[in-house]
Amino acid sequence: LDKVGIFMKVEILKALKESPQQYVSGQQLSRLLGVSRTAVWKYISELRQEGYQIESSSRKGYKLITSPDNLSAEEVLVNLHTSFLGKEIRYYETVSSTNNVAKEAAARGCMEGTVIIADRQESGKGRLGRHWVSPPKSGIWMSIVLRPKILPMQAPFITLLAAVAVSKAIEEIAQIKPGIKWPNDIVIHKKKVCGILTEISAEMEQVNYLVVGIGINVNFDISNFPDHIRETATSIKAETGTYVNRVELIVSLLEKFECLYSKAFDEKLRPQLMEEYKAYSVTLGNRVRAVSMNHAIEGYAEDITNDGELMIRTDDGKLHKIISGEVSVRGMYGYV
Ligand code: BT5
């Protein structure tokens, strides 16, 4: 990973974007970065190879014409305003699963907030060994490494916050309000647009790291969905009819997640965070069926506690607390 190269390219892009449609001289860039003009030229050529259209004139310098419509660490970093989340971004064209890459990075001690993004996953993972369909150019397949100082049993709460962050970002960038199906499926018009898979490395008393894996169907065409999910899945573009810029969505998501995460450990703020979650819930107030290891219960989703557990009232009047598992909502995919 060429961290210096990424840093230099981000700084060059920032400078070029600050003077839209104007030339920035090679000398200015070389002074800004503290490298030679030849080095500047080398980074500019790399940016061109990555799809940036940059005009150059030997007298006037460089001018950014267009940015590529693909994912890259540079594009995200240029636009991102966070203090720790996404300060290190590793972008790959193809990986097996961004969660696996993130777990390896975490085990080797990468810093908190490191983000792994891929354009395509060869073996994207859902929960319980299920497969996550992750074709190129149309989705966000991303994993975030966190090192919260919490007990392992508190980890699900962080995942709920990730669901809120995704929902807020979709709302901001695509102007459509999604719903959250407990615990963390994001749905639009009753179909699944995003799934979250959190993996944890922990001892009894402490979390070593969490990897929060987020998969969002952004610009998928419905006709491209494989048969087995065509009825249940959707994409932002399929529901809104408009193309969504993935970089903008990632930036918004990381900024919103950092903001929520920074409040997550203040007990006093929990009720407020859970209110935000509940405002998106499509589970609350509906008839649901919860299936766990060995039994199923059916009832009415009455509340979600401040720790994120789902309270289900069964027809005999009893209240059940569900900590994790599969909960399907009547009228929505998966309810049989
Ligand atoms: C999830 O599992 O919803 C978690 C998905 C997490 C994916 C991200 S992508 C980045 C990171 N790296 C990974 O390898 N994974 C994470 P679950 O609730 O078990 O749902 C899985 C089920 O959703 C599958 O069995 C399919 O029925 C359906 N499904 C598969 N691909 C889908 C897609 N692209 N969109 C909607 N539904 C899908």
Residue 1 has pLDDT above 80, yes or no: no
Burial class (CB in 10 A: 0-12, 13-18, 19+), 280: buried
Banded model confidence at residue 317, pLDDT cuts 50, 70, 90: very high
Ligand 1 cavity residues, CB under 6 Å = 97-99, 121, 124-128, 130, 132-134, 141-143, 185, 192, 195-197, 213-215, 217, 229, 233
Ranges 8-12, 101-105, 204-208, most confident: 101-105
Residue that is written with structure tokens 């203090």 in the block: 83
52: left (phi over 0), alpha (psi -120 to 50) or beta: beta
What are 34-90's pLDDT values in tens digits?
999 999 999 999 999 888 889 999 889 999 998 876 788 888 998 899 999 999 999
Q: What is the mean pLDDT of the chain?
A: 93
Q: Which residues pair with 304 in a beta bridge?
A: 310
> How far is residue 75 CA from its own chain's centroid?
15
Radius of gyration of the chain (CA): 22
Structure tokens at 308: 């994120």
Residue nearest to atom 2 of ligand 1 (CA): 126
**Does the predicted model carry a pTM greater than 0.75?**
yes
Residue 205 near residue 107, CB atoms below 8 Å: no
DSSP string, 74-85: HHHHHH---SST
Instruction: Write the single-letter amino acid at 328.
Output: S
Residue nearest to atom 20 of ligand 1 (CA): 126
Torsion over CA: 202, 207, 208, 214 (sign): positive
Q: Which atom of ligand 1 is nearest to the CA of 326?
A: 18
Residue 301 has pLDDT above 70, yes or no: yes
Q: Which atom of ligand 1 is nearest to the CA of 134?
A: 34
Residue nearest to atom 34 of ligand 1 (CA): 133
Distance 215 CA to ligand 1 centre (A): 7
The answer for residues whose C-beta is within 8 angstroms of residue 127's C-beta and 6 or more apart is: 195, 197
Pocket test for ligand 1, best of 132, 212, 228, 234 (most atoms within 8 A of CB): 132
β-pairing, 207-217 vs 191-202, is antiparallel
Q: Which atom of ligand 1 is nearest to the CA of 228?
A: 27
How much is the pLDDT for 69?
A: 65
In this prediction, residues 6-20 reach a mean pLDDT of 91
Banded model confidence at residue 324, pLDDT cuts 50, 70, 90: confident
The answer for residues whose C-beta is within 8 angstroms of residue 266's C-beta and 6 or more apart is: none
In this prediction, residues 246-273 reach a mean pLDDT of 95
Q: What are φ and ψ of residue 112, in 5° steps? A: -60, 140
What are 197-251's pLDDT values in tens digits?
999 999 989 999 999 999 999 998 888 889 999 999 999 999 999 889 999 999 9
Q: What are φ and ψ of residue 78, in 5° steps? A: -60, -35
